[in-house]
Structure 1
């Protein structure tokens, strides 16, 4: 068995706070210029376009934009443009494309369609000279640095951070602006949290639900993907509201549940469904900033709940890396996967 602290995934996840801090400083000018343009000609709505972990970041962006700006935000299906050759009516939209490599053909095609339709195309990319970056009206570099492990970690967190900085400066929310100043240090604190109970509890598991809601749903989606790709553990993400519409029938004794609760108005309902599942005999772990008690995974409390998903995922990455090793996997080289997936 390898030492979990020697994997590329561990090292790269540990760099996330430094990368976010670097990003906030370096991107301030480009964000402010974009915000000035958006305030001068406000978009009618926002559309996101992404796949994989980047699409989970887009889920976060949806809730972030809708809760801070009140702008309806929808996710585009890349296949509509690249396979079905449909040209959606996107005039007056802000079209946000999120991609680590910036060269997947389907994302490029949809960005081209959006630009031709009159949308403002903004690309969040880790490769600043990629084809997507050259196509976009505005490029927001993720600045995660090289990422060699197949499992994306710091680039995902940098995607969330870029969306957060954009929303904070666009909305002018004083509390959110203050919170992002403290975010890198809060992420460092999250990385130090002890989630070993999750590792030991899931070492022999075969199935798992991961729950989140609102701003926290993207964290649940990302966790479920990482369980599958790094641990060979079948995990499905659900909103803590949607899980009650059918999927909860599967949860009973010995069916594990990981719940990510937000420190906002969605938190109580997520904690309540976690308690309900625990009462059925299910092994349940709850991550909620500041919470204590049996089955609680510790998290520092940020100044603003929009920062909580980044802290949750930062702590989770350390745990899932250790779990992968405990289950006999190398998280850096999952079977059948490549670092860059180019979908047509």
Structure 2
């Protein structure tokens, strides 16, 4: 049964869940104490380095956390390849290592197996999930509930931003912070949605017929670029590919021409500043640039979607919001239903 057959409007779940995010983020900040308790347990057992395990949108949240841990905590951090455990049976020495497993459902068999194996090998394991009753929460020694509530659209929106904020609150608390930079994140998120509505509509109108998109960002915003490509691919079926701005200049820029749309995530800070050379290069090759972020007004672009400025380390929570709306709008404009992308299910189980 399609959404039209059931009387449900295409995209109504995704639209509602995007709109729920300001209140949801504010509520998570109010529950910071629960996350700080987990952080105290981590701080009491200082790790040699950290590892992150995730898939899909959660993998992009883990990429964000990688930057947070390396920059804010000064710890070497890597992204786990689950197949090293699930397919090859590797048993690395993980004593004094922090493993954070990130999964919205907490039900992916590979992440569960990685977490169980890491705990046996001596790691301090932490699950970050939207499902407190999940096997992943039970398998990990410590657990963080992101508290996003039920998400009905296949495309992750509120669970993604809630995961970002939960990871920030966790890592900030490990370093002794009290979440000062996100104290008003709910209000900022509401402004980010309200103030970008017209610009998002212009972007939908301009890019509704595009077929090839490159997304790019640097630093913390690289995670936003990766999540943007996934959202555009799964909702609008676009050929979307994400690159770090630095990697884009190391070869892929040669494939960019006037038929390429480039979504550049550029927020105030060192990462956004490093994007200037990247955008000079792609505009020089004729690409049509859509700039999104608090520094979007300072770069060459055909369309700019500016969001409120915040400290660079929490910018990804805000800059992804209008991009979610863009993915929703493009999917509807192209005749699709982003609540039910073809061939996809809400929970993907891999090993």
TM-score range, shorter chain: over 0.9
Q: Say whether 1:151 aligns with 2:158.
A: no
Shift of 1:296: 4.6
- Structure 1: which 5+ runs fail to align? none
Give distance in 2, aligned partners of 1:264 and 1:4: 40
Give distance in 2, aligned partners of 1:309 and 1:63: 11
Cα shift readout 1:41-69 (whole Å, capped 9, x = no counterpart):
21111100010000010000000111111
User: Partner residue of 1:271?
Assistant: 276
Give distance in 2, aligned partners of 1:86 and 1:115: 13
Contact 1:8 1:148 in 2 (8 A): yes
Contact 1:4 1:325 in 2 (8 A): no
User: Partner residue of 1:100?
Assistant: 104
User: Partner residue of 1:334?
Assistant: 341
- Structure 2: which 5+ runs fail to align? none
Contact 1:183 1:302 in 2 (8 A): no
TM-score where L is the length of structure 1? 0.94
Cα shift readout 1:202-253 (whole Å, capped 9, x = no counterpart):
2111111000111001100001011111001010000000001110001111
Give distance in 2, aligned partners of 1:323 and 1:248: 25
Give distance in 2, aligned partners of 1:163 and 1:172: 14
User: Partner residue of 2:259?
Assistant: 254
User: Partner residue of 1:132?
Assistant: 136
Contact 2:212 2:259 in 1 (8 A): no
Shift of 1:266: 2.0
Cα shift readout 1:159-213 (whole Å, capped 9, x = no counterpart):
1000111122222357xx3211021111111112132232122211111100011
Q: Say whether 1:40 aligns with 2:44.
A: yes
Cα shift readout 1:268-324 (whole Å, capped 9, x = no counterpart):
221332233223221111123154375352333333111211111111111110110
Which aligned pairs between 1:208-247 and structure 2 lie closer than 5 A?
208-247=213-252
Which aligned pairs between 1:300-311 and structure 2 lie closer than 5 A?
300-311=307-318
Shift of 1:36: 2.0
Contact 1:290 1:298 in 2 (8 A): no
TM-score where L is the length of structure 2? 0.92
1:320 is paired with a residue whose SS is: helix
The runs of at least 4 consecutive aligned structure 1 residues that moved more than 6 Å come to: 1-5
Give distance in 1, aligned partners of 2:106 and 2:56: 13
Within the candidate set 166, 175, 185, 1:183 is matched to: 185
Within the candidate set 280, 287, 293, 1:282 is matched to: 287
User: Partner residue of 2:212?
Assistant: 207
1:335 is paired with a residue whose SS is: coil
User: Partner residue of 1:112?
Assistant: 116
Shift of 1:132: 0.7
Contact 2:191 2:308 in 1 (8 A): no
User: Partner residue of 2:125?
Assistant: 121
Give distance in 2, aligned partners of 1:159 and 1:297: 26
Give distance in 2, aligned partners of 1:4 and 1:248: 39
Contact 2:221 2:265 in 1 (8 A): yes
User: Partner residue of 1:58?
Assistant: 62
Give distance in 1, aligned partners of 2:157 and 2:310: 23
Aligned alpha-carbon RMSD (Å): 1.9
